[in-house]
Structure 1
Amino acid sequence: MHEARVIWQSSGDFAANRYTRGHMWRFDGGAEVAASASPSVVPEPMSNAAAVDPEEAFIASISSCHMLWFLDFARQAGFEPRRYEDRATGALVRKDGTTWIPRVDLNILVTWAVAPDADTHTALHDQAHHACFIANSVKTEIVVNLLEDAP
């Protein structure tokens, strides 16, 4: 069982729709994260641009899950990634009265001790994608783009 507490305290004029959307995420391991509606959805000052919004957290959780599986599969295959960076992106889209994130792009750059060939690298990401709990839990299309390490 996983647990996340979401804690909000009223501040502002709630009836006039001028209240804070800032809140706190508290996780079972003790971490606390400032959270808010995205300023692209709720204008500041009712939102907090410095806080994590649900859309960012959704994209980050997909990216993080993929990375953790990828690292494990790389280890099992005898490869040693030295650095992994993903600039994951996704955008809210409104269609037929529903707003959602239909696609997340994982834009991944891996630096290796000794790099596998391109097919093996791609296969490790494919394995990770299919194993990822989060990817298996959403209807969003997840696209893996492998970036080349600049010399």
Structure 2
Amino acid sequence: MATFTAELSWSLREGEDFARGRYSRGHALGFDGGITLPGSASPHVVGKWAVTEAVDPEEMLTAALSSCHMLSFLHVARLAGFVAASYRDRAEGILEQIAPGRRAVTQVTLRPRITWEGAAPDAERLAHLHHEAHEACFIANSVRTAVVVA
């Protein structure tokens, strides 16, 4: 078992009106490796009260699925005897209404582009490697969101 931590810090700023919802959603996210990122609600959710330069939870979920899949994929590809030279992805998360007043990231589409040193897997083997990576990904195993490799 492992435990992971994140620290979050937010405070009301002078002149903001919490009771009327007129306050910045900007906050700081700290991680155990020492990095701190600016966080916010998505502009799609709270409009002008978002900090557009910050990362929002929906982006973090999309990035976490992409990152976990890549790390799992590199592992299974190595075990299968392939050498990945680079891996790039442009993941896309879709936020949808799932019930009145409820929204969820219902799908994340991964678009990995991999370059290989030496032999590359054929299309069937590549699809199998992605399937194995998906099955091994801790984050994919933790969410109900559909994860599609395009």
How many corresponding residue pairs? 144
TM-superposed CA distance for 1:102, in Å, is 1.1
Within-5 A mapping of 1:1-151? 1-11=3-13, 12-44=16-48, 46-97=49-100, 98-114=102-118, 115-145=120-150
TM-score by length of structure 2 reads 0.92
> Sequence identity, in percent?
48
State which drifts further: 108-117 or 55-64. Answer: 108-117
Give the letter aligned to residue 92 of structure 1: L
Partners in 2 of 1:95 and 1:70 — Cα distance? 30
Partners in 2 of 1:96 and 1:81 — Cα distance? 42
Partners in 1 of 2:146 and 2:47 — Cα distance? 28
TM-superposed CA distance for 1:95, in Å, is 2.8
Partner of 1:148 in structure 2? none
Partners in 2 of 1:3 and 1:14 — Cα distance? 28
TM-superposed CA distance for 1:49, in Å, is 0.7
TM-score by length of structure 1 reads 0.92
TM-superposed CA distance for 1:9, in Å, is 1.3
Ranges of 4+ aligned residues in structure 1 off by more than 2 Å: none
Structure 1 unpaired stretches of 5+: 146-151
CA-based RMSD of the aligned residues comes to: 1.0
Instruction: Report the structure, 1 or 2, having the larger helix content.
Output: 2
Q: Deviations over 1:101-141 (max 9, x none)?
A: 11111111111112122222111111000000110111111
State which drifts further: 64-73 or 116-125. Answer: 116-125
Structure 2 unpaired stretches of 5+: none
Partner of 1:149 in structure 2? none
Q: Deviations over 1:33-69 (max 9, x none)?
A: 100001111112x211110000000010011000001
Partners in 1 of 2:139 and 2:98 — Cα distance? 23
